[in-house]
């Protein structure tokens, strides 16, 4: 499917840098990596997308990384980008990794933010799903009421405010029933063929998502991978330490 997207042309009229594709994570929208887009658009055209079942993109009963990667490829074709640098966070990082299998020649460099190419087999979002469904079942229309109810599910205030960015007039702008039904696919992973091009894995120092035990899985699928750890940050490393993340990104993509 063609995804809803935002395309910003590079501000520098003389820039010859490759365009950048930004891919958000679970429960997100194209706005989530805005802090990166605002910086990168100085030299790069920047394409931000809403993944399927998120934001203003189409809904589907399927939520696999194969399908997400095919969506990304169709969107690249739609905007006539032959080759891109792709940056993804969390679920979006896995979608970006899956794109290396679907269209390996279309990616120049890959940046995965706080996510590894592994099957996690850990349910970290059950409280969130319970909170989302509670708001829907209660028929709440306003954010204040939604906040009060969601706090009963021990969901952190920062997470609640993030989720409420996709709450409008009593409706969630992500497909809660399908995300719940397809959750095993979202936390899971099917290994992709070895992709022999530059890859950077940015890890939050306090996040559980990228561990030393995953090194072999990363190396077998992305043999040119390098790692960068941002100390004092969790899973939302790009929001918590944007300057550090952008420094790492620029060191990685600004070299020939």
pLDDT band at residue 12 using 50, 70 and 90 as cut-offs: very high
Average pLDDT, the chain: 96
pLDDT at site 88: 98
* Token pair belonging to 182: 């397809």
| Confidence (pLDDT) at 156 | 86
Q: How far is CA 207 from the centre of its chain?
A: 16
What pLDDT is stored for residue 2 in this prediction? 84
For helices 143-150 and 126-138, angle between their N-to-C axes, nearest 10 degrees = 130
Tell me the pTM. Answer: 0.96
User: Which of the listed residues 161, 179, 197 is the one where a domain comes to its end?
Assistant: 179
pLDDT in tens, 35-57: 999 999 999 999 999 999 999 99
Residue 28 has pLDDT above 90, yes or no: yes
Q: Are 202 and 230 in contact (CB under 8 A)?
A: yes
**Same-domain pairing of 87 and 200:** yes
Whether 175 and 194 map to the same domain: the answer is no
Mean pLDDT confidence for 188-201: 98
Pairing of strands 199-204, 167-168: unpaired
CA 150, 154, 160, 163 dihedral sign is: negative
Residues 170 and 145 in one domain: yes
Q: Predicted confidence band at 208 (pLDDT cuts at 50, 70, 90)?
A: very high
Q: What is the pLDDT of residues 176-190, one digit of tens each?
A: 999 999 999 999 999
d(CA 126, CA 103): 33
Residue 112 pLDDT > 80: yes
**Claim to verify: residue 26 and residue 85 sit in the same structural domain:** yes
- Distance (Å, rounded) from C-alpha 224 to C-alpha 53? 32
Same domain, 61 and 138: no
CA–CA separation, 22 and 203 (whole Å):
17
What stretches of the chain show up as alpha helix (H) in DSSP? 34-40, 65-78, 91-102, 126-138, 143-150, 157-164, 176-181, 183-187, 215-221, 237-240, 242-253
- Bridge partners for 228 per DSSP: 202
> 144 lies in which domain range?
126-179
- Active site positions, annotated: 90, 235
Total domains in the chain come to 2
Percent of the chain clearing pLDDT 90 (strictly above): 94
């Amino acid at each position: 499917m063609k995804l809803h997207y935002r395309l910003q042309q590079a501000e520098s009229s003389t820039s010859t840098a490759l365009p950048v594709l930004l891919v958000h994570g679970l429960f997100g929208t194209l706005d989530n990596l805005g802090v990166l887009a605002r910086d990168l658009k100085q030299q790069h055209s920047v394409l931000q997308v809403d993944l399927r079942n998120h934001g203003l993109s189409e809904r589907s009963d399927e939520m696999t990384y194969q399908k997400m990667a095919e969506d990304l490829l169709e969107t690249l074709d739609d905007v006539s980008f032959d080759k891109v640098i792709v940056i993804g966070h969390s679920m979006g990082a896995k979608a970006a990794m899956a794109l290396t299998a679907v269209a390996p020649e279309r990616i120049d460099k890959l940046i995965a933010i706080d996510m590894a190419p592994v099957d996690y087999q850990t349910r970290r979002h059950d409280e969130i799903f319970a909170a989302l469904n509670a708001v829907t079942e209660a028929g709440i229309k306003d954010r204040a009421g939604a906040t009060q109810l969601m706090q009963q599910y021990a969901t952190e205030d920062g997470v609640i405010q993030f989720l409420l960015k996709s709450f409008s007039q009593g409706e969630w702008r992500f497909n809660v029933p399908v995300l719940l039904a397809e959750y095993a696919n979202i936390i899971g992973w099917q290994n992709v063929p070895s992709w022999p091009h530059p890859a950077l894995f940015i890890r939050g120092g306090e996040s559980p998502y990228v561990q030393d035990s995953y090194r072999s899985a990363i190396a077998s699928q992305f043999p040119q991978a390098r790692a960068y750890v941002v100390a004092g940050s969790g899973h939302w490393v790009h929001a918590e330490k944007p300057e550090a993340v952008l420094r790492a990104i620029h060191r990685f993509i600004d070299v020939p």
